[in-house]
Amino acid sequence: MSEIRILLVDDHPSVGEGTKTMIEQDSNMSVHVVLSAMEAIEALKQESFDIILCDLNMPTITGLELTKRLMQEDPDRRVIIYTGHDIISHFNLLIQYGVSGFISKTVSREQLLASIYCAMRGEAVIPVSLLKQLRRGEVKVTRSDGTVEEASINEREQDILQEVAEGLSNKEIAVKLHMSQRTVEYNLTRIFDKLSVRSRSEAIVESKRLGLIRSETF
């Protein structure tokens, strides 16, 4: 089997070197570590890699933005998000970009190596713990009298509702969910109409009743 060449992008040198040492215990794998998105972009200009392990939370250019750029350049790239942070709020975007999967920095060496081999075979890598967090893409709105409305709340609207429940302003929601403030406002108007509510507080109460937002917010 030919050597699997891995580019690891992580702004913490100790994490990068530790992960490199762990992966290279498998003689079929070699790891090149870079500390920023810009270094990753330059490295990819110089040579090719089979797998890119990318942290999400990095200064200047985030792992999210780097992933978007890399996948736009080459949709066949195998990018695995390698992070210690919760990625649920970015999950839809990352899937849309075309990532191969997600690995927590807390996994064992065996799990990490298995995930890399899975990605090499073209298989998706998603931890069961993450799968359990994911909501259905669309939820039918059921009224208290048992009737089901024709309107339904889609994934993006659920994300916006979640941020409203956490007290974020429209501007803050726009930044967090990577959309314009006008798009947030437009979606809120649609949400209010679908839920038959007139305010953010009413929307939160109704969303909680319908199970559209995570209860631990309250």
Domains annotated for the chain, with CATH where assigned, are 4-132 (3.40.50.2300), 138-210 (1.10.10.10)
User: Rounded mean pLDDT of the chain?
Assistant: 84
Percent of residues, the chain, with pLDDT higher than 90: 48
Residue-wise DSSP of 171-186: HHHHHHTTS-HHHHHH
Give the model's confidence band at 9: pLDDT under 50 very low, under 70 low, under 90 confident, else very high.
very high
| pLDDT of 120 over the 70 cut | yes
The predicted model gives 146-158 an average pLDDT of 64
Is 70 exceeded by the pLDDT of residue 137? no
Among residues 197, 89, 69, which one has the least CA distance to residue 133? Answer: 89
- Predicted pLDDT of residue 147: 46
How far is Cα 200 from Cα 212, in angstroms, rounded to an integer? 14
Judge contact between 161 and 212, C-beta under 8 A. yes
* Mean pLDDT, range 119-129, rounded to an integer: 84
Quick one: average pLDDT of 4-20?
Answer: 94
Tell me if 79 sits within 8 A of 54, measured CB to CB. yes
Number of H helices, E strands in the chain: 10, 7
Compute the average pLDDT of residues 51-59.
89
Count of C-beta atoms within a 10 Å radius of residue 144: 8
Q: Which of 25-34, 79-88, 131-140 has the lowest mean pLDDT?
A: 131-140
pLDDT of residue 29: 96
- pLDDT tens, position by position, 169-193: 999 999 998 888 999 999 999 899 8
DSSP for residue 169: -
pLDDT bracket for residue 50 (50, 70, 90): very high
- For residues 74-97, give the mean pLDDT: 81
Per-residue pLDDT, 104: 85
User: Does residue 210 or residue 10 have the better pLDDT?
Assistant: 10
Classify residue 2 by its DSSP letter. P
Using CA atoms, how far apart are residues 65 and 145, in angstroms rounded to an integer? 45
Q: What is the pLDDT of residue 96?
A: 80
